[in-house]
Amino acid sequence: MSPIARESCATLSVADFYRRYMLPNQPVLIDISALTALWRVRSEWTREQAAEAEEAAAEGEEQQAKKQRAATSAARQLDAAAVRAACGAEEVTVHNCAPAAGRVMGRLHTAKMSLDEYLRWWEAHCAARGGAAGAAAAANEARAAQLQRLSELSPTEPEAEAEAGAEAVLDDSLLYYLKDWNFVKDHESDVQLYTRPPYFAEDWLNDHEAEQSSDHRFVYLGPADTFTPLHKDVLNSFSWSVNITGRKRWWMLPPSSEAALMSTRTGTQLFDLRDLDTSDELAAEFPALPALLAEGGELMDFEQGVDEVLFVPSGWWHQVQNLEDTLSVNHNWLNACNVRWSWSYLQQQHARIVKEVPECDGDEETTQQLLEFKYE
């Protein structure tokens, strides 16, 4: 296994980020708590319970920072009532990560619902699950009911809801992960939830797309155990991802590992690296993988704490699990450092469409439309 590089925005300059990570296409985790402290997503969408008293200890700086992050992560929770009040009526897409829900064509099942519905599910799920986040969810629910009563927005009886919450039973067929919510696109003019960290300022994808109907700036929200399957990012873009609440586990493999991630039997890519541990039959389809995953291999397997931003370089394969209830923000982007990989990827895909879709041979307009449809 390879270790992930760790930095802090207090000491990492933009020029050093460029030279040490972006240009050589290497991942890095950067503590940006000094930046997130100023963000509205933190002050308006989360609540902090009093953190436990700090132990005075003779430890290294890194250990202390880790302890501090763990305490912050435990104390800071989503303020579901505030999020609901801000944009509960919006439609969002959720992915069902419950193992019992299965997959469709190698992907998680998805559904569309209002954010309000999603947050109701979230609160019931966290309350039924119990623990610290469950208590926070119950408090959120009570606060939401109070806000609703005040605003008379909902016809639902708050008392009946609170009762339903108290009786909630964990439904193991549902584990919803809200992904790819284009919050910024729809709210640029009224609220700036966060600012782009300076390391990622030069962004040809989203600056261009500001004029378009969609973009690559996302909010993600998922309770503990929600999951993003193995993939590399759209158009070989870079991505950055920061946790506003919670922690994530990331598994990352460099672009050179791509062939090892394709089944020798079907040619399709692996869904979850952990599936190899539970199925010898599946493991046999990926004979080159064990060497990459072994000690001394290429795999990076690490935790990302609250207020840490991860730089995911172009073409790196990754899968992600939320270890706690996690609110995160992420962008995909292109610039002079990676646009050539995007361009060659698009050329490959163009050639593939022409080869596999007979109608496209000689019809450039249809080929372009299909390309656009696939990567919009």
Matching residue, tokens 């919670």:
246
Direct distance between the N- and C-terminal alpha carbons of the chain, in angstroms, rounded to an integer: 35
What radius of gyration do the chain's Cα atoms show? 22
Q: Which is nearer to ligand AKG, 120 or 217 (CB)?
A: 217
| Identified binder of ligand AKG from the candidate list 241, 245, 342, 367, rule CB under 6 A | 241
Helix, strand or coil for residue 50? Answer: coil
Cα 53 to Cα 283: distance, rounded to the nearest angstrom: 47
Our CA dihedral for 190, 332, 96, 194, rounded to 10 degrees, sits at: -30
Residue 164 belongs to what H/E stretch? helix 158-166
Query: Which of 79, 141, 233, 324 touches ligand AKG by CB under 6 A?
Result: 233
Q: Shortest distance, CB of residue 233 to ligand AKG, whole angstroms?
A: 5
Q: Compare residues 164 and 323 and give the one whose CB is closer to ligand AKG.
A: 323
> Which CB, 120 or 248, lies closer to ligand AKG?
248
Q: How far is the CB of 61 from ligand AKG (least distance, A)?
A: 27
- Tell the residue number behind the tokens 């609440």, with chain if given: 245
- Could you tell me the smallest distance in angstroms from the CB atom of residue 13 to ligand AKG? 24
DSSP string, 124-148: HHHHHH-HHHHHHHHHHHHHHHHHH
What are the residues whose beta carbons fall under 8 Å from the beta carbon of 236, sequence distance 6 or more? 314, 315, 338, 341, 342, 345
Binding mask 212-231 for ligand AKG (x = CB under 6 A): --------x-------x---
Closest separation between CB of residue 312 and ligand AKG, Å?
Answer: 5
Cβ neighbors of 201 (< 8 A, separation 6 or more) are 14
Shortest Å, Cβ 75 to ligand AKG: 21
Q: Which residues contact 343 (CB under 8 A, 6 or more apart)?
A: none
Q: Considering only residues 73, 239, 257, 367, which one is a binding residue for ligand AKG as defined by CB under 6 A?
A: 239
Find all residues with CB under 8 Å of 68, minimum gap 6, and list them. Answer: 54
Q: Could you say whether residue 320 binds ligand AKG (CB under 6 A)?
A: yes
CA distance 221 to 232: 20
367 touches ligand AKG (CB under 6 A)? no
Determine, following the binding rule CB under 6 A, whether residue 245 of this chain makes contact with ligand AKG. Answer: no
330 belongs to the binding site for ligand AKG (CB under 6 A): yes
Min CB(316)–ligand AKG separation in Å: 9
Which span (161-169, 187-195, 233-241, 339-347) binds ligand AKG, by CB under 6 A? 233-241
What residue is closest to ligand AKG based on CB? 228
Write each residue from 279 to 318 as x if it is in contact with ligand AKG (CB under 6 A), else as -, in one continuous string.
---------------------------------x-----x
Is residue 272 within 8 A of residue 97, CB to CB? The reply is no
- Tell the smallest beta-carbon distance from residue 141 to ligand AKG (Å): 25
List contacts with ligand AKG (CB under 6 A): 220, 228, 233, 239, 241, 248, 312, 318, 320, 328, 330
